Chain A
Amino acid sequence: EVQLVQSGAEVKKPGESLKISCKGSGYSFTSYWIGWVRQMPGKGLEWMGIIYPGDSDTRYSPSFQGQVTISADKSISTAYLQWSSLKASDTAMYYCARQISIAARLDYWGQGTLVTVSS
C-alpha cells in the first residue's frame, strides 16, 4: 500500500527556521516525484514545487521560488520542505503528494502538516 506520512504540527515564531518531512512507503521512492502543496486557512490548493528523490532534481512554482527549499534523502525515503525565516503568512496546511512526473496528477497524498507562525 502506497503511503506518505508527514511530520506533526508545528508552532513557530516569525523569523525561526523549520523543516517538515514526508516519508514514502509501499512503492519505489526513487522512481516518483514528490510535490508539495500549500493550503492557507480557508483557502484553496497551491502547488509549490517538486523533487525527484532519485537524483534530487528540483523545480519550483514561480510564486514559491526563493521562499522555500525542497530536498530529499533517498536513503530513508523522505522528502523535506524547509524555511529559513518563517513569516506569519506561512501559516498553512502543507501536503506532500506523489507524482509520476513534473506535469502529472497527484495520485497519493500525505495527511498534511499544519504550520502555525505566530509571535
Chain B
Amino acid sequence: DIQMTQSPSSLSASVGDRVTITCQASQDISNYLNWYQQKPGKAPKLLIYDASNLETGVPSRFSGSGSGTDFTFTISSLQPEDIATYYCQQYDNLPTFGQGTKLEIK
C-alpha cells in the first residue's frame, strides 16, 4: 500500500488567515492526489482533484499544488464555514487516504 502522511493532524487558525496542509506519499504518485472536506456529521466532499484542479462549484480560496511525493492544500483566506476535517487521497494504485487534518477556528 502507498502510505499518505498528512500534517498537521489538527490546526487552529483565525478567520482571514492563510491555511496550509501538507501530504506526503511513501512513493512517487505523480499528480494522482485529491483533497476532500468533511464537515461534522456529513459525507466527504471532493474539493481538488489531480493535485491542483478545483472541482466545479468549489470556492477559489481553495487550491492545491505538488507532484511526486509532496503536496500542499491551501485556503487563502479562512472562512467560518471552512471548519472541517480535510483529507488527501492518492490514486496511483488502490486508493488510500491520509489520516486527516482537523481545522478549527481560533
**A18 proximal to B (CB < 8 A):** no
What is the size, in residues, of chain B's interface with A at 8 Å between Cβ atoms?
Answer: 24
Is the CB–CB distance between B94 and A102 below 8 Å? yes
A44 contacts across to B, CB distance below 8 A: 87, 97-100
CA distance A37 to B44 in the complex (A): 10
Q: Does A66 contact B (CB under 8 A)?
A: no
Stretch at the interface among A7-15, A67-75, A76-84, A106-114: A106-114
Q: Does A31 sit within 8 A of B, measured CB to CB?
A: no
Q: How far is the CA of A35 from the CA of B87 in the complex (A)?
A: 17
- List A contacts of B87 (CB < 8 A): 44-45
CB-contact partner of A95 in B44, B89, B91, under 8 A: B44
- Whether A59 and B94, one on each chain, are in contact in the complex, defined by CB atoms closer than 8 angstroms, is yes
How does the 8 Å CB contact mask read for A76-119 relative to B, with 1 for contact and 0 for none?
Answer: 00000000000000000001010000111111011110000000
* Interchain CA distance A8-B40 in the complex, whole Å: 18
B96 contacts A47, CB within 8 Å?
Answer: yes
Judged by a CB distance under 8 angstroms, whether B12 is at the interface is no
In the bound complex, do residue B43 and residue A95 qualify as a contact, i.e. CB atoms below 8 Å apart? yes
Proximity string of chain A (38-67) to chain B, C-beta cutoff 8 Å, 1 when within and 0 when not: 000000111100000000000101100000
B60 at the interface (CB under 8 A from A): no
Decide yes or no whether B39 CB sits under 8 A from chain A: no
* Binding site secondary structure of chain B: loop
Cβ contact of A109, chosen from B32, B44, B91, B95, cutoff 8 A: B44
Q: How far is the CA of A103 from the CA of B91 in the complex (A)?
A: 5
**A-facing mask of B33-51, CB < 8 A → 1, else 0?**
0101010000111100110
A106 touches B95 (CB 8 A): yes
Among residues of B, the one whose C-beta sits closest to the C-beta of A61 is: B94
Assuming the A-B contacts A44-B87, A45-B97, A45-B100, are A103 and B92 also in contact, with contact meaning beta carbons closer than 8 angstroms in the complex? yes
Chain B residues whose C-beta falls within 8 Å of the C-beta of A109 in the assembled complex: 43-45
Instruction: Give the residues in chain B near A35, CB-CB below 8 Å.
Output: 95
Do B46 and A105 touch (CB < 8 A)? Answer: yes
Q: A residues touching B (Cβ–Cβ < 8 Å)?
A: 35, 37, 44-47, 59, 61-62, 95, 97, 102-107, 109-112
